[in-house]
Amino acid sequence: MAAARIMVSASNTLTASLLSKGPLRRPNNFSLCFRNGPVQKKRLFTCSAIYNPQIQTIEEGQPETLDYRVFFADNSGKKISPWHDIPLHLGDGVFNFVVEIPKESSAKMEVATDEQHTPIKQDTKKGKLRYYPYNIHWNYGLLPQTWEDPTFANTEVEGALGDNDPVDVVEIGDSRGKIGQVLKVKPLAALAMIDEGELDWKIVAISLDDPRASLVNDVDDVEKHFPGTLTAIRDWFRDYKIPDGKPANRFALGNKPANKDYALKIITETNESWAKLVKRSIAAGELSLV
């Protein structure tokens, strides 16, 4: 097995030296608490950031191989799940977003929902690594502590069933993220993509660190300050499977992006579904809850 590469900050160089045999990389550090923390808000099943542990992202294997994984660990080195253990809600309409695919890249990285600690890996098909036919132009990833329930038929979206994954985020800021980076974002819009009959929400959001973040607070602001972006996102996700010989994806809700309030509604509903999943009120199937 290739030596793990642990990405931490300069202040933790000594710790990293003890834990890692590979080169150091800059960390993704953020505040979080774990699932045994207090519930923060009614209907938002997450926890408040009551302390600030340092989070490490640990690479195992070589990038663009079947064995490559990016794990997450707390400051004691204990592995945690980016899906289950990073809180969703940070208050004041701000959410944590985990980058799976950095903008202007094509390797189809995703959280391995069926593996212990749900690391990020490159998706496969018939034993081969998957790539998009062209680069994705935005940071792409997931909202932790959300889940699109495959047993729930959404009557507002043609009765489509959820795709059994966390909710996807398309982050439109200028900076290119890194695999495993956690950004604080605010949602701006939602696209209801229908992928081979399954509902696959795309929440359009912006990092609070982006210079234009204060200018955009709802769907209309996106068109004003990022003209053409919403159409480009819809068209990209509509067409990306066509080069592989598959039909185009469809979008419900009139083929238009819903506003911020609707996006927040989707986040709340899928957070509730996640809570039922981890409480085992709904059968997990092959999903890992660790």
* DSSP calls for 235-276: HHHHHTTGGGTPPPPEE-GGGS-B-HHHHHHHHHHHHHHHHH
Domain 91-110+131-279 top-level CATH class: alpha beta
Residue 224: which H helix or E strand, with range?
A: helix 219-225
Per-residue pLDDT averaged across 99-123, rounded?
Answer: 98
Tell me, what's the pLDDT at 31? 39
Cα–Cα dist 258/117, whole Å: 33
Q: Is the pTM of this model over 0.75?
A: yes
Exactly one of 51, 68, 131, 132 is catalytic; name it.
132
Q: 258-280: string of b/e by CB count within 10 Å (b at 16+)? A: bbbebbbebbbbbbbbbbebbee
Tell me, what's the pLDDT at 209? 97
Tell me, what's the pLDDT at 52? 40
Residues 6+ apart with CB under 8 A from 245: none
pLDDT at 18 over 50: no
Residue 220: which H helix or E strand, with range?
A: helix 219-225
Residue 249 — pLDDT band, cuts 50, 70, 90?
Answer: very high
Tell me, what's the pLDDT at 77? 92
pLDDT at 214 over 60: yes
Per-residue pLDDT averaged across 190-210, rounded?
Answer: 98
Tell me, what's the pLDDT at 254? 96
pLDDT at 1 over 80: no
Per-residue pLDDT averaged across 118-124, rounded?
Answer: 98
Boundaries of every domain in the chain: 91-110+131-279
Whether 132 sits among the annotated catalytic residues: the reply is yes
